[in-house]
Structure 1
Amino acid sequence: MKKLLPLAVTLAGIALTASACSTATPGPGTAVPTATQTGIPSAASATGWELNTRGSADRIKAAGLEVLNAEGAAEHFHAHLDVFVDGKPVTVPADIGFSFTSDGKPNGISALHTHDESGIIHIEAPVAGMTYTLGQLVTEWGVLDGTDKAPGAARSSIDSWTVAVNGAKQDTKVTDVVLKAHDEVVLFHGNAPATLPSAFKFPEGL
């Protein structure tokens, strides 16, 4: 089993490094535009979308996942998530799927998590063959729970959102979208981005 150490200072606190994924933390990767797009705008921070480390362990459990003491090794793959509100990108925060002590130090991790703000979703599971969904990630993040009635707000109802996978809009319930290796998942509210990202170029080794 891999240990939680070493630890590294991230944007807002301390979090696990991505040592289980590669010998060095991978770069942010590149959103791959469709034929008519020249580039994907950089995501910017938006109020309410930041990760609240308080209650993180409870959110992992609410997502139906376990708080582990190390990343799993039985299954290991990655997907990518972009979030847009009326065509404007929202940052997917680092450390989704980590649990923290009261003083903000990591003390556990789920099989479904993020290490940085690249939007790369890591699935590092102790048991192979399990299904992981967008709904579970959103629950771990603590957003789109319907507690804010403002359209497109961070805690608005997820039922008003739309999801596309690899450039194709999905008819299924947003929360039921299954995360698969190298999928490009786009979650958006209101106007879709000018051109929907259809793929993501993952860093070498992912």
Structure 2
Amino acid sequence: MKKLLPRSVALGAVVLAVAGCSAATPGPGTAVPTPSASSSAAAAPTTGWELNTKGGAERIKAAGLPVLNMEGAAEHFHAHLDVFVDGRPVAVPANIGFSFSATGQPDGISALHTHDESGIIHIEAPVVGDTYTLGQLLTEWGVLDGAEKPGTAHSGASDWSVVVNGAKQDGPVRDVVLKAHDEVVLLHGTAPDPLPTAFNFPAGV
């Protein structure tokens, strides 16, 4: 047991540092959308939208963000993202904004990240006052102008529209600033009916 304890303690420290916000952090599927909104969790299609865990650190840096060894505590808020292609929902993957070791273990995290497929975006920053954008999240995800392979998931962001809290946004979709409890809908082609305009965040989130 004495030989295993240091390894267990070290592993526990890594998990605590990068695996979740707090006791109030929702697990997969616990975030419930409003009746007018569709959840990202039960979404399709998935081809081309999967998260490639390789290169996570490089994508975080490409988004202009540092790779941290734990979640920041100076500022903490959440937004929600729904993605639709021709009216069909696309799952927002877990672990966007994480870096992984060669063995597939998480070894770093961005202030901007996801923990599950609920579509909830976590902003847990080490300093107060920085802005975080949809474009940074898409770069960490590796889609829409941050792509490694062809397909709709990797087409230019200029082909997309974005709606925030029910209001269509002018200007580039990548420039949308993420704010607390925003419902962000990223659209390509036909919009879903009804269009999500709000999200019912779990208590404490």
Place the TM-score, normalised by the shorter chain, in its bin.
Answer: 0.7 to 0.9
Deviates further, 24-33 or 190-199: 24-33
Contact kept? 1:146, 1:158, Cα under 8 Å: no
Contact kept? 2:162, 2:184, Cα under 8 Å: yes
C-alpha distance 44-133 of structure 1, shift in aligned 2 (>3 A): same
Residues 119-198 of structure 1: pairs in structure 2 closer than 5 A: 119-145=119-145, 150=151, 153-198=152-197
Residues 8-157 of structure 1: pairs in structure 2 closer than 5 A: 16-18=18-20, 20-22=21-23, 25-26=26-27, 27-34=29-36, 40=38, 42-145=42-145, 150=151, 153-157=152-156
Q: CA deviation at 1:6?
A: 4.0
Counterpart code for 1:40: S
1:95-123 Cα deviation digits (max 9, x unpaired): 00000112211000000000000000000
Segments of 4+ in structure 1 off by > 4 A? 146-150
- Other structure's SS at 2:154 match: coil
Identity of aligned residues (%): 65
C-alpha distance 24-199 of structure 1, shift in aligned 2 (>3 A): closer
Counterpart code for 1:130: D
C-alpha distance 125-146 of structure 1, shift in aligned 2 (>3 A): closer
Q: Which residues of structure 1 form unaligned runs of 5+?
A: 8-15
CA distance in structure 1 between the partners assigned to 2:100 and 2:126 by the alignment: 20
Contact kept? 1:162, 1:189, Cα under 8 Å: yes
Q: CA deviation at 1:29?
A: 1.3
CA distance in structure 1 between the partners assigned to 2:120 and 2:105 by the alignment: 22
C-alpha distance 174-162 of structure 1, shift in aligned 2 (>3 A): same
CA distance in structure 1 between the partners assigned to 2:45 and 2:181 by the alignment: 24
| TM-score using structure 2 length | 0.86
CA RMSD in angstroms comes to 2.0
Q: CA deviation at 1:146?
A: 7.0
C-alpha distance 120-24 of structure 1, shift in aligned 2 (>3 A): closer
- Other structure's SS at 2:14 match: coil
CA distance in structure 1 between the partners assigned to 2:60 and 2:200 by the alignment: 28
| TM-score using structure 1 length | 0.86
Q: Higher Cα Rg: structure 1 or 2? A: 2
CA distance in structure 1 between the partners assigned to 2:146 and 2:113 by the alignment: 22
Counterpart code for 2:124: E
- Other structure's SS at 1:164 match: strand
Q: CA deviation at 1:196?
A: 1.1
Counterpart code for 2:154: R
The structure whose residues are more often helix, as a share, is 2
Q: Which residues of structure 2 form unaligned runs of 5+?
A: 1-12
